[in-house]
Each structure stands twice: as structure tokens, then as C-alpha cells.
Amino acid sequence: MLEVVHGRRIGRLLLVGLATALLAACSSHASLRKHSEADKRMPVPPGKALVYLYRPSPAGGTTVFDVAVNGAYIGKTLPGSYYLIEAPAGALDLQSLGDNTAELQLKVRPGKRYYVRQRYALSLFTGRASMAVMDPTSGRRGLAGTSLLGEIKL
């Protein structure tokens, strides 16, 4: 009898620990700001371009991809998230790291907005990343419902 009670206690403790971990993970994403109409009207700073690097799909669940801009690490993306990158005119190198390294080079012009979609594809370990430049209509549609991870000023 003592062994069964002890086993139930361990099971309950494990269940409580798992629930706590899940709640902590959810709450860390709850503070993310959703993309809104105001974001669409935000003016492009003089001499700069705005680049939206977004990951709209829920595919990949909890898989995160490391992201670098011009060789500098900026953070991780989650499904349903985006970074807003304010960049000077010229070359912009984006990297997304999963089981692979996806690279995309852009030549950005001042006063323009660029939409870069990051995608997840199932692979052997964590997932393969890919990126593609989207047209403005598709890009704005892809941003709908995503949450801002951060604003990066280069």
C-alpha cells in the first residue's frame, strides 16, 4: 500500500511540474504584441527600409529558429511571430538556422518595405528553415495574427 501511495505522489509531482513548465512557456509568449493596423501605417524612417521577417505558420510547434542579420545574432523565431528590422539602404544578409542554414540576401532601398517569410519543413532533428521575399499583399496577409518579437535597428 505504501508503494502505491508513493508512486501516486511522484506521478502527481511530475504532473504538477509539467503543468508549471507549460504555463511558464505560454506566459513568456503572452507578452508579445500582435501585429496591428497601426503597424501597417508606421512610416518608414528617412534613408531606411523596413524589413518584416515573419513566421506565420503554426507548423513546427515549439521549434525555434535562430536568426542573424548581417552576421549578428538577433534572436529566435517562433510560429506566429515576426521581427521588424529597420535597415539602411544597401545589402542586407539574413540567416535562419535550423537543421540547415537558410540564407537570403536583399538589396534594400530607402523608403521601402520588404516582407520575408520564414518557413518550417519537417526534418530529421529540429526542422529545416527556408526564407523567401514576398510581395507586399502576401506579406501583409502573412503578418496578420503574428506577434512582434522585437524591433532591430541597424
CATH number at residue 98: 2.60.40
The model's pLDDT over 92-127, given as tens digits with 9 standing for 90+, comes to 999 998 788 889 999 999 999 999 999 877 666 667
* Range of weakest confidence among 16-20, 66-70, 106-110: 16-20
What is the number of structural domains in the chain?
A: 2
DSSP H or E run through 136: helix 136-143
**What is the distance between the alpha carbons of residues 137 and 124, in angstroms, rounded to a whole number?**
33
Cβ neighbours of residue 109 closer than 8 Å, sequence gap 6 or more: 49, 89
**Statement to judge: residues 83 and 141 lie in one domain:** yes
pLDDT classification of 2: cutoffs 50, 70, 90: very low
**Statement to judge: residues 60 and 78 lie in one domain:** yes
**Statement to judge: residues 7 and 53 lie in one domain:** no
**Statement to judge: residues 57 and 10 lie in one domain:** no
**Statement to judge: residues 14 and 39 lie in one domain:** no
**Statement to judge: residues 93 and 49 lie in one domain:** yes
**Statement to judge: residues 136 and 148 lie in one domain:** yes
**Statement to judge: residues 68 and 135 lie in one domain:** yes
pLDDT classification of 32: cutoffs 50, 70, 90: very low
**Statement to judge: residues 131 and 100 lie in one domain:** yes
How many Cα atoms are found within 13 Å in the side-chain-facing hemisphere of 135? Answer: 2
SS3 13: helix
Range of the domain at 3: 1-31
SS3 42: coil
**pTM, whole model, 2 decimals?**
0.72
**Statement to judge: residues 87 and 123 lie in one domain:** yes
